[in-house]
Amino acid sequence: MANKTSLLGEITKGLWKENPILVLLLGCCPTLAVSTLAYNGLGMGLATMVVLVGSNFLISLIRPIVPKSVRIPIYIVVIATFVTIVDLLLKAYLVELSRNLGIFVPLIVVNCIILGRAEAFAARNTVGRSVLDGIGMSLGFMAALLVLGSIREILGAGTLTLWVMGETVVKFNLLGENYPGILVMILPPGAFIALGVLLAIRAKIQKRLDTARS
Amino acid sequence: MDKKLFVSSSPHVHGQVSTPAIMWTVVLSLLPATLWSFYLFGLPAVTVVLGTVALTAALEAISNKVAGGPLALRDGSAVLTGLLLALTLPPGLPLWMCGAGAFVSVVVAKAFFGGLGQNLFNPAMTGRVFLLIAFPAAMTKWLVPRGTGESLLGHPVTAYDTAGKLVELTSAKVDAITAATPLGLLCEKGAGAVAAIQNSPDLFIGQLNGSLGETSAAFLLLGGLFLLVRRIITWHIPVAYIGTVAVIAAITHAVDPAQYASVAFHVFTGGLMIGAFFMATDYVTSPMYPMGKLIFGVGCGVLTMVIRLWGGYPEGVSFAVLLLNACVPIIDNATRPKKFGLTKLAAA
């Protein structure tokens, strides 16, 4: 396995060049479903980060002893373990987030990003690189979810909620009390429209970068 | 070198009908209904129509510039989209909401798909549905036409209150009155609430509250007939569409008059006229062949009536047209006529 990328490159590629949502289009189900609030996007990103880093770490560690023919079930068991831990932690300490995300926390098990990274990266690379890859990928996932959630929340409700933990609420009323809210942005169609626009903007910037380089 | 012989592929005879000519003819055909809405609703209607058309045209010019293609503004399609969109909006809608609808119509539904001729969905309908889902409250606040006690064509001005009773509006003190549309009443309270008006001539003339362009079936019918005579549209879609609505309304009304409203009510209220003549017949988003057009019209009619009679929304024209827009490629494929002289064997 030729490792051409630098260690820093393993982290930064997830943010832009191989962003899981904006380039690989993986994990669309949680992306579209929970990005109704900026806070939900952030929380989903954090939860995914814990699972992805943990599963990448463990899977790259047990790589030599996993028989090829049953690797997928083994990966799923590893991922499900981390998801259960995250789910219980959220229920214990971040009740609001757990309630907002609902079924989509257990569903992280089937998130394509995690199994995808396990199969495509952790199963073929060293422990260090796999952890860095997990951090980078989940940072990219979180960033995209945060942007998508912010756009949808600002347009849909006129507010920006960044943190809710018991009494501590970080919430900004950006567009005033009388803003009627573009309801459709909170609904599923709004997620598709916002994601489509984000994809287009990213592709446009990438094109500019490519022409500038050549 | 002087060429004596020109060789070019068909078509050799050009109809001399350009896109701008068609677009402006359709705009012209909508003018009676537009002016009527100005008369009925006054300044709020003028603001919505002029504002929406101006914003749509401006957004079209901007998106043309961004896309880098030729300026397609002059072909009139943007003005037509703006006018059609405006006619499906309630009078008095805030201008920035009109702008949001114009943005979705021209930029999202058209420019994103590649401009005029490439759009899968009717731009004006997409804009309206977006606004309906985005601002349900503002989009269902209906002004009562000419509610200031003035008389119209010698008749006292009347409106229907929430109980569906005919009341004369005599108060000159109010700025505007809002009330549910007849279809809204039907949806919420059943046919009993609209019993008083379901055979009233007002339905046809259009002295009713509703979207700017849905009030006057007569003027829209006039515009539609004008398009038919000028052969801008063919009869297939409007006839199939309105005919299906009429048949379903007749059957349901006959089965249970207490629950289902009459044929005249369903045909002349709501957006059916503007939908059948101006939205469903859009060249880009409707089938190409006669048989396909008939299927398209019947499909629109069935869906419209299903939504009206059993759905959560009072009106289903915009949803029906959009859903059938999505089926057009399939319909076109299934109804492609056999080419002259082609045998079955060669075709397969």
Contacts of B135 in chain A (CB under 8 A): 180, 182-183
B180: in domain: no
- B167 pLDDT higher than 60: no
- Give the angle B324-B330-B334 at the CA atoms, nearest 5°: 120
- The pLDDT of residue B203 is 61
Which domain covers residue B247, as residue numbers?
206-334
Percent of chain B with pLDDT over 70: 74
CB nearest to A182's CB, from B108, B112, B135:
B135
As a whole number of angstroms, the distance between CA B256 and CA A3 comes to: 75
* Phi, psi values for residue A163, rounded to 5°: -155, 135
* Residue B99 in domain: yes
**What count of Cα atoms within 13 Å lies in the side-chain half-sphere of residue A41?**
28
B130 touches chain A (CB under 8 A): yes
**Tokens for B142?**
């209906």
Dihedral angle of Cα B211, B217, B223, B228, to the nearest 10 degrees: 130
Two tokens at B206? 């259009």
ipTM above 0.95, yes or no: no
Cα separation of B279 and B122, whole Å?
Answer: 7
Which residues, 6 or more positions from B53, have their beta carbon under 8 angstroms from its beta carbon? Answer: B79, B82, B83, B86
Cα B319 vs. chain centroid, distance in angstroms? Answer: 11
Last residue of a domain, one of B93, B124, B139: B139
What's the DSSP call for residue A122? I
| Residue B90: φ, ψ to 5° | -75, 145
B108 touches chain A (CB under 8 A): yes
Q: Is B134 in contact with A193 (Cβ distance < 8 A)?
A: no
All residues at 6 or more sequence positions from A176 whose CB lies less than 8 Å from its CB, including other chains: A158
**Closest CA in chain B for residue A185:** B134
In a domain, B121, yes or no: yes
| B226 part of a folded domain | yes
> Would you give the DSSP letter of residue B152?
B
Query: Residues B294, B210: one domain?
Result: yes
CA distance B70 to A80: 54
Pair (B113, B216) in one structural domain: no
Indicate whether B37 pLDDT > 80: yes
| Amino acid residing at B65 | K
Q: What tens digit of pLDDT does each residue of A188-211 get? A: 888 998 999 899 899 989 999 999
Indicate the Cα dihedral angle B267, B272, B273, B278, nearest 10°. -160
- Check: CB of residue B165 under 8 Å from CB of residue B196: yes
Distance from CA of B135 to the nearest CA of A (A): 6
- Dmax over Cα atoms in chain B, in whole Å? 82
A79/A88 Cα distance (integer angstroms): 14
Whole-angstrom distance, CA of residue A79 vs CA of residue A65: 17
Q: What letter does residue B4 receive in the DSSP assignment? A: -
Please report whether residue B11 resides in a domain: no
In this prediction the pTM is 0.79
Q: What DSSP state is assigned to residue B173?
A: S
Do residue B108 and residue A193 have CB atoms under 8 angstroms apart? yes
| pLDDT band, very low/low/confident/very high, at B147 (cuts 50, 70, 90) | very low
- What does the alpha-carbon distance between residue B253 and residue B261 come to, in Å, rounded to a whole number? 6
Mutate to test the interface with B, among A152, A175, A183 (most CBs of B within 10 A): A183
Is there a domain that residue B10 lies in? Answer: no
Q: What stretches of B256-289 show up as alpha helix (H) in DSSP?
A: 263-268, 272-274
d(CA B209, CA B270): 10
C-alpha to C-alpha distance for B284 and B297, rounded to whole angstroms: 15
Report the pLDDT value the prediction gives residue B49, as an integer from 0 to 100.
92
B243 occurs within a structural domain = yes
For B18-31, write each residue's pLDDT tens digit: 788 888 889 899 99
Scanning chain B, the segments in alpha helix (DSSP H) are 19-41, 43-67, 77-87, 95-103, 123-134, 136-139, 182-189, 202-205, 217-229, 236-255, 263-268, 272-274, 290-310, 317-334, 344-347
Together in a domain, B216 and B134: no
CA distance A195 to B23: 33
CA distance A116 to chain B (A): 31
Q: Can you give the pLDDT at residue A57?
A: 94
Two tokens, residue B151: 């008389």
CA distance A110 to A47: 14
Residue B168: its pLDDT value, please? 52
A40 min Cα distance to partner chain B (Å): 21
User: What is the average pLDDT value for chain A, to the nearest integer?
Assistant: 88
Chain A residues touching residue B100 (CB < 8 angstroms):
182
Give me the pLDDT at residue A174, please. Answer: 80
How many CB pairs (< 8 A) connect A and B? 19
In the block, which residue shows the tokens 């960044």? A162
Question: CA angle B249-B242-B157, nearest 5°?
Answer: 80
Helices (H), A63-126: 71-93, 95-101, 112-117
Of the candidates B101, B124, B139, which is a domain's last residue? B139
Residue B340 lies in a domain: no
| Domain match, B305 and B228 both | yes
What's the sign of the alpha-carbon dihedral B155, B161, B167, B173? negative
Q: Determine which of B105, B135, B318 to mutate to test the interface with A (most A C-beta atoms within 10 Å).
A: B135
| pLDDT tens-digit map of B223-279 | 999 999 988 889 999 999 999 999 999 999 888 887 788 888 888 877 888 899 999
Please report which confidence band the pLDDT of residue B125 belongs to, taking 50, 70 and 90 as the band edges.
very high
Find the closest chain B residue to A157 by CA distance: B134
Which of B80, B108, B139 is a domain's end point?
B139
Q: Which residue, chain included where needed, has tokens 């309908």? A: B125
B51 and B135 assigned to the same domain: yes
Report how many domains make up chain B: 2
CB contact under 8 A, B130 and A184: yes
Measure the N-to-C terminal CA separation of chain A; round to a whole number of Å: 29
CB proximity B38 to A under 8 Å: no
Q: Chain B interface, mutation test: which of A155, A179, A182, most B Cβ atoms within 10 Å?
A: A182
Do B109 and B223 lie in one domain? The reply is no
